[in-house]
Structure 1
Amino acid sequence: MTLSKLILLWICTVSMAKCSVARFIHAKANVAAPSHKFLFAASITSASEHICSGIILNKRWVISSALCVSQNTVSTLHVRYGSHNRTYNEIVNEDIEKIIVHPHFKQKMLANNLALIKVSNDIRFIPTVVQAATLPTKKPAENDMVDAVGWEKIDETNQSDTPEILKYHQTKVTGLDTCSINLSHLYDVDIDTQFLCTNTTIEDTFPELDNGSALISAEKNELIGIASWYDEEFPNVYVRIRTYLPWIRSVVIE
């Protein structure tokens, strides 16, 4: 797999404010998320269309991938939250006040692929409906069970088809050796500190969980990763959140 081919998997169609992302490869099929779990889930939208996932951090800040929002402005995007079904009338649609892309984001390598999004009004927390994600307290270990959580695109051939129901699946963290070997083509990138990989199986393919979707520790229910990119020849790759805690905290606690 050449670098150019890898990058082509993530070409952003700026005119439609959407990113072309092919399927993630997973060990288990995506299923509808239980209504009482993953209450941090948000949807980043443009012109009322979902473009990627977001994760609520506190009453004013949401985190997502830089690739999703770096080509957009605050006037073109909204954050939707409040239901695992994006079509429900009760869902809240917030304007965006500010977008802060990680200062060392490199699109070609997808290094430091994180962005923080500040909404214009306080997010309304409701115990069984909306809650902030919990940031990680320890480094994930090989074979730790994790939940991948995001909005699933149902029909890749139908551009008007949008994800409606929040989905998740369980998988395991891949060991550092496997992750590093498969990502060795990424030059000038500290794989150990920046990335976290999860298991894949070539035989089992399922519809994608979108860019910016969350990787959650099954044991502690902590946000440990943000979906960055995949290729079917490599493990699924997430941004390792624990590495970026100083930057995240410096921004969201203004």
Structure 2
Amino acid sequence: MMHGLNTCLLLFLVTWLGQNANGSEIINGAKVGKKSMLFMASVQNDKGHVCGGFLISEDFVLTAAHCDDKSDLSRVVLGTHDLKRVDNNTIRRIEKKCKHPSYKNVKFGNDIMLLKLSKKAQLNKKVKLIGLPKTGKEIKDNQKCSVAGWGSTKTGGNSVDDLQVVEVPIINLNACKKQWEEVQFNLPANIICAGGYQTENGFCQGDSGGPLVCNKMAVGVVSFNRRSCDYPNVPNVYTDISKYLPWITSILKKKKC
């Protein structure tokens, strides 16, 4: 009976994430300043915003693999926090999607993807890169970090055009696993937990692909949470970038998957 319940919950979580990948909702956040977080990218299909992402080289944007599960991603918007201000100068077409080779779906982890741009991003006063962590460098429990995205500011609300950011604390991994086990879900490997638990701050439905930023570095990629964003809730889950550095470095060097 418990196994059946667990299976149903897993199917619900994966189905829900697939249905809600279009939008990036930040709970209890604030509008990002024009000179801040200039690495942020809106990952889009031809209809508009689907997921968040972030620029890690002139050629590549990092995001979540599940963003492309049901959306035909085609372009990236850089250099604006306001999605009403999108033009040919801010748009870069996606030439190649490099999902992690071990990715199947969010419940099995490896939820990370690199997008190769058809034309290099021009680094300037509106477009910057963000650095990645070093292998083996641990993030401390309760460390204050931030997560950003476009979208609504409450569960079930309407999306917004202006980029939002919120501060979230890092949550002890063992405590995080215990909280998720209580709702009959076993977390995958290579993840970071931050926000959503013992706090009213976090990301919400479909706030996928955006960065978890600690000490001015992107340490995680928004992966999933539960359907309800009425925090406190179970912790929010991010892909741990430090566990994928050799894969990322190889692709950046070869400029292909």
Shift of 1:210: 1.4
Deviation at 1:204, TM superposition (A): 3.7
1:85/1:135 CA distance change after superposition, 3 Å: same
Deviations 1:201-253 (A, max 9, x none): 57847873711111100xx2000111000025420000011111111111111
Q: Larger helix proportion, structure 1 or 2? A: 2
CA shift in 2, pair 1:205/1:221, >3 Å: closer
AA in 2 matched with 1:229: F
Aligned to 2:211: 214
CA RMSD of aligned residues (A): 2.7
TM-score (normalizing by structure 2) = 0.81
CA–CA separation in structure 2 for the residues paired with 1:122 and 1:223:
20
Secondary structure in structure 1 of the residue aligned to 2:234: coil
C-alpha distance in 1, partners of 2:52/2:225? 16
C-alpha change, 1:242 and 1:207, in structure 2 (3 Å) is closer
Of 76, 89, 96 in structure 2, the residue corresponding to residue 98 of structure 1 is 96
TM-score by length of 1: 0.82
Q: Write the distance in 2 (CA, Å) between the matches of 1:131 and 1:21.
A: 23
Percent same amino acid among aligned pairs?
22
The one-letter code of the counterpart of 2:173 is L
Q: Distance in 1 between matches of 2:252 and 2:70?
A: 22
Q: Give runs of aligned pairs for residues 1-254 of structure 1, distance below 5 A.
A: 2-12=9-19, 19=21, 29-73=28-72, 76-89=73-86, 92-107=90-105, 109-126=107-124, 128-137=125-134, 138-153=137-152, 162-184=159-181, 185-186=184-185, 189-190=188-189, 194-201=190-197, 204=200, 208=204, 210-217=207-214, 220-231=215-226, 232=228, 233-254=233-254
Contact 1:39 1:131 (C-alpha < 8 Å) held by counterparts: yes
SS in 2 for 1:109: helix
- 1:245 is paired with a residue whose SS is helix
In the superposition, relative to structure 1, how do residues 188 and 54 fare at CA in structure 2: closer, same or farther (>3 Å)? closer
- Structure 2 stretches of 5 or more lacking a match? 1-5
CA contact (8 A) 2:24 2:151 kept: no
Q: Kindly tell me: are residues 251 and 35 of structure 1, through their superposed partners in 2, closer, same or farther at Cα, counting changes over 3 Å?
A: same
Aligned CA distance change for structure 1 residues 89 and 177 (closer, same or farther; 3 Å): closer
Cα deviation code 1:70-99 (max 9, x no counterpart): 4455xx511111111111256511111100
Report SS of the residue matched to 2:145: strand
The whole-number CA distance in structure 1 between the counterparts of 2:149 and 2:25 is 13
